[in-house]
Structure 1
Amino acid sequence: MSAGQTLGMDILTVLQQVDHRLFHRLFQQGERGMIRPLAKALSRSGDGYLHMLIPALLWLLPAQHIGEFCALLLVALTIERSLYWILKNSLKRRRPQALMPNFRSLITASDQFSFPSGHSSGAFLLATALGVVYGGPLVAMFLWASLVALSRVVLGVHFPGDTVAGAVMGTSITLLTASLLGIS
């Protein structure tokens, strides 16, 4: 193995160790008070229903730019879901429950692999699309998306790195799609 390959493997090992330590700390924080029930509710809010509900509500209201928003959401989701599926099924990073002996997640994940987090990607995609088209309370939208991502770690179905990758993916795809569609 070359020196460059060894350095690359060392960096990945360190990143994985940091990811695992951060996972344990965040998961343990979930044991306090009402954090886990709140995490379950936040996680559910990232299940994808809002991707359909928000356009429907905007359609019912006299909202401007509904066509732009729906086009952005549809194209970005198509790209994001395709890339998500390809990455998840080719990288095959196992979930915390599969990697750590005697650990049980608090919910059952919808699929086998964890990287990237689809809930995080979808939440950041929706928050970014709303921000691009409508502006408004960006802090609130990104706070919700961040809490969805955090909930996935607190519930034990993702490592923090999975959710960060999902957040970057969802945001980036939406911004790129908006640029390609000429939506600003």
Structure 2
Amino acid sequence: MRITVLRGDITQRRVDAVVNAANSSLLGGGGVDGALHLAAGPELLAACRELRTTDLPHGLQTGAAVATAGFRLPARWVIHTVGPNRHAGQTNRALLVSCFSESLRLADSLGARDLAFPAVGAGAYGWGAEAVAQAARDAMAGFQASHPASGLELVEFVLHTAEVEAAFRDVLGQPR
């Protein structure tokens, strides 16, 4: 599995699946969540509402992942995951790692060959960029060890700021 780090707009990535740093309601929000909902169109909100009335009546649990179609996005699927909110006292690092692990597992089960992640948990949820990058690194290592025949060929980290990009490059051993 090849790993790349870049600064850019995750809504524009031409990959099989993009990961949404969602809130538990799945009904949109700010940051990456709001941008993906806006770019995907109202069909994404409708799909998330359907999930809430069927499989997830209490919302998506922290650290879990669920997929919807990508609708108007270049990506075929959106994988929604809920990071732990440090500001709300959710400091269990294992839940942050789980966001990445479960998203990788779900992408692989969908048959995705390439996947784009934002910095899940950074920003509004209060995790530092380095901690998020370390969680992503650990999740990828665990996934590769447990899924040696995975069809995932490329994992991109599409980051919004130079600071977050630099942290991911340093942790993931990518040149600046």
TM range (shorter): 0.3 to 0.5
User: Please, what TM-score do these two structures have when normalized by structure 2?
Assistant: 0.32
For normalisation by structure 1, the TM-score amounts to 0.31
Question: Whose radius of gyration is greater, 1 or 2?
Answer: 1
More helix by share: 1
